[in-house]
Amino acid sequence: MGRPAKFTQEQMLDAALDILGADGPAAVTMAAVSARTGAPIGSLYHRFASRDLLLARLWLRCVESFQEGLLAAMAADDVEAAVLHTPRWCRAHPAAAAALLLHRREDLAAEWPGPLGAELAEVNGRLAAALDAYLRRHPGADRERLMFVLADVPYGAVRRHLLAGRTPPPELDTLIVTACRAVLAAG
């Protein structure tokens, strides 16, 4: 029986997120995470075969955190809360929001189908199931319009701010809601 781990994967991901938030993604190196946690570099490589895999796991963790509020709003049939979840979550979790800009789900699935495949499928599955459940409860709703207001509008609104290293301003909330109401009313 091996000895218990002194440093957890979560501690390592927390350190990576702290470094990313403070100094940007280029600063997230295995050596920097090792220094931040005090974990031997070998411990990092034991859990993450590469820096890229560390960042991919961090991305997955951030997506799961993001989805919690979005899925709850969808389950409550509160589309307005769902569309506002993106800018509000980004303001509350700026480092995690920056981490989400690192990868696209499609890229991860192509690059790491083995180590991340099941987790990526689960992330995709939860969101698809929430959308399907909402559409079953609201048979007149249009799937394309709903995806546009839930994903495209909020993401487009926050993305340029995040890419510039800025927190999305609260004024975006009104613009997002106005745009989403107009799209849904036109349907």
Check residue 85 and give its pLDDT: 98
The CATH fold of domain 1-48: Arc Repressor Mutant, subunit A (1.10.10)
Confidence at residue 139, expressed as pLDDT on a 0 to 100 scale: 94
What is the reported pLDDT for 110?
Answer: 66
Give CA–CA dist 64/119, Å, rounded: 10
pLDDT at 2 over 80: no
Tell me: the pLDDT tens digits for 98-155? 999 887 776 666 666 577 778 888 888 899 999 999 999 999 999 999 999 999 999 9
pTM, entire model: 0.89
Which helix (H) or strand (E) segment holds residue 69: the answer is helix 51-75
Model confidence band, residue 5 (pLDDT cutoffs 50, 70, 90): low
Cβ(6)–Cβ(33) below 8 Å? no
Residue 145 confidence (pLDDT): 94
Percent of the chain with pLDDT over 90: 76
Mean pLDDT estimate for the chain:
91
- Residue in this structure with the two tokens 């509008």, named with its chain if needed: 153
Selected residue with higher pLDDT from 171 and 25: 171
* Torsion angle (degrees, nearest 10) of CA 122, 126, 127, 128: 90
pLDDT tens, position by position, 35-68: 999 999 999 999 999 898 899 899 999 999 999 9
Domain boundaries in the chain? 1-48, 60-186
